[in-house]
A = this chain, B = another copy of it.
Amino acid sequence: MWRYLKRLLIGRPLKTTDAGGQSLTKFKALALLSSDALSSVAYGTEQITTVLFVLSAAATWYALPAVGIVLILLFAITMSYRQIINAYPSGGGAYVVATKNWGTSIGLIAGGSLLVDYMLTVAVSVTSGTEAITSAIPLLRPYSIGIAIFIVLFIMTLNLRGMKDSASFLTLPVYTFVIVLLGMLGWGLFNIATGKLTYHAAAPVGSAVPGMTLILFLRAFSAGSSSLTGVEAISNAVPNFRKPRRKNAANTLAIMAALLGMFLIGVTFLSYYLGVMPNPDETVLSQIGSAVFGKGIFYYLLQFSTALILAVAANTGFSAFPILAYNLAKDKFMPHMYMDKGDRLAYSNGVISLAVGAIVLILIFHGQTSLLIPLYAVGVFVPFTLSQSGMIIHWLRERGHNWVLNSLVNLLGAAISLALVVFLFWLHFSNVWPYLIIMLVLLAGFYKIHAHYTMVASQLRLNNEQAQLHDYSGATVIVLVSSVTHVTTGAINYARSIGDYVIAMHVSFDTNPKKEHETAKEFKDSFPDVRFVDLHSSYRSVAGPVLRFCDVIAKDSAKKNYSTTVLVPQFVPRKPWQNILHNQTSLRLRAVLNSRENIIVSTYSYHLKK
């Protein structure tokens, strides 16, 4: 049943060699990897105006210069990432670049930041997508957290099916959004030109705003820098591109940056021209859409495709997180289970961890995008800074063609990212401080895990000497008997096949001595040749007496150079649910006996026919 359901939801398993086929064309890669960056237009402008609006409506014109600076940063960061694609075509992004150039500790800071950041990508995109839905359908507003969690689980399921399937599925919403948004900007500008959309700006560009300070401007601008998140996704996923990988990846990055720049400036201009103000119940994009299109079919198409591209953006996290977790696990900084590839080659454990993390974030922040954004931006710009500065080291070491120009480009990228991190900690500290705690915990975890794996490996290694073979003279087998049934018969038969000395052991509790001897008698009648030991427990515990007895026997066996096995007979019901109807004694006994190094625990399973 479960197997069938899994197959239905997740699809048939793929062979290892199929992995090569999981490669992406530019067209698909744009859908799968650029949605995070492109969709940030749904909240980027809004973050800027929200900060400015706290001062006054007039101050919102400053959104235009703020977006202008964001665009410059976008250009610089795009250039730097094109260089990373060329230098590290095997992917891995900030974690790999920072580790290779800065060393392990800095690499782990980058890696840890990104792990958190991918969870925030999912959380921010999904909550923002939910806001797009509830802006269009106010009826759904009370259920927004539930809707957000549902979307996360839905995307998780898609990802457990494997990347290529998801990509085919996801091209449609991304390109729909691109077309609808281009349409809205075009139609908006056309109507402004023909005078059908009238000028409603709260204050003209350049007008003096009382109380406006540079710090407020920086606050607004740094909040808007969240629009730059997601730019790194393509450079992390170079190995997933169709060949020639570097070229395809670099070109996809350029296309994405151009689109994002157009969207940002267009949306910000329209919001300024139409005098749109931030409103907790309706997103800025929704307000622009209803002003440009009216509340007709195009408006709903805009909202719907916004929600969908944000869902696809959440998917970016699902593509990137498992790869990063895999890289960290391979380097022994995260549990091995992130290296287990599930069916369909998706890194199932990573996908599931990410979904759980995102849902926790959504619940903690009550599904409010604006509370998540500053944390999200820090999580992005810390690894940006580390990988860009790592690239400078790379160029200085390599000194290849054009190394001076290349390092200057990366220096610009690093400087901008560092400035943004400083601004975010300085001006948004009340939202950003959890980053410090999370990173401390993550780094401590990374090192603890690494130390454990190193220690285990050194203990298990055979050190090139020949294995120490030991020849036992024989084997003692202790069979636990609760009552004399077909299970006992089977277990005794098996025990005699592996053991040279077989003992049956029974624990009795009944204060009624008659019943106590009944099992002993029954057993001796059925198996006259097997030694039977009856332990009496005055406490109602099986584990204690069994353990004490087995220890004694194991000691005796060792003297005779015998190995010691404890055979726990159990019966297996036909249906799994029926297991809860039977005593879990055998489970408990196995757990207790496993604590003994000189005792091997074996289970004899008798399968019920009906």
Contacts and interface: CB of A to CB of B under 8 A. Distances in A.
Interface string A552-587: 000000000011010000011100001011111000
A594 B572 contact: yes
A471 B580 CA distance: 34
Contact of A497 (B539, B562, B584): B562
A421 B485 CA distance: 47
A597 B608 CA distance: 10
A428 interface: no
A466 B610 CA distance: 23
What does DSSP make chain A's interface, helix, strand, loop or mixed?
mixed
B472 A496 contact: yes
Contacts of A341: 540
A172 to B, nearest CB: 30
Contacts of A345: 540
A541 interface: yes
Interface stretch (A145-153, A305-313, A435-443, A599-607): A599-607
A194 interface: no
Interface in A328-345: 335-337, 340-343, 345
A237 B366 CA distance: 50
Copies of this chain per assembly: 2
Which among A342, A527, A539, A541 has the greatest number of chain B C-beta atoms within 10 A? A539
Interface stretch (A62-70, A291-299, A447-455): A447-455
A583 B498 contact: no
A105 to B, nearest CB: 21
A364 interface: no
Given A340-B583, A487-B460, A581-B449, A603 B600 contact: yes
B16 A540 contact: yes
A486 B499 contact: no
A573 B343 CA distance: 28
A600 B594 contact: no
A23 interface: no
A487 to B, nearest CB: 6
Nearest to A342: B540
Nearest to A601: B603
A494 interface: yes
Given A467-B527, A511-B16, A540-B16, A494 B455 contact: no
A104 interface: no
A526 interface: yes
A497 B486 CA distance: 27
A538 B584 CA distance: 37
A608 B468 contact: no
A475 interface: yes
Contact of A15 (B539, B562, B594, B595): B539
A119 interface: no
Contacts of A606: 460, 597
Contact of A493 (B335, B472, B562): B472
Interface string A494-517: 101111000000000101000000
Contacts of A582: 336, 456
A489 interface: yes
A599 B544 CA distance: 29
B498 A565 contact: yes
Given A538-B15, A572-B594, A335 B494 contact: no
A474 interface: yes
B489 A471 contact: no
A13 interface: yes
A559 to B, nearest CB: 15
A401 interface: no
A578 B494 contact: no
Nearest to A336: B583
Contacts of A610: 455, 459
Nearest to A491: B600
A492 interface: yes
Given A15-B538, A470-B493, A486 B511 contact: no
A499 B602 CA distance: 14
Given A13-B541, A605-B594, A497 B472 contact: yes
A462 B449 contact: no
A489 B475 contact: no
20 contacts: A14-B539, A16-B509, A16-B540, A17-B511, A336-B581, A341-B540, A456-B582, A456-B608, A461-B486, A462-B486, A467-B492, A469-B492, A469-B493, A469-B527, A472-B494, A565-B602, A597-B606, A600-B602, A600-B605, A602-B603
Given A343-B541, A459-B608, A461-B486, 9 more contacts: A456-B608, A459-B610, A460-B485, A468-B489, A469-B527, A497-B562, A594-B603, A597-B606, A601-B605
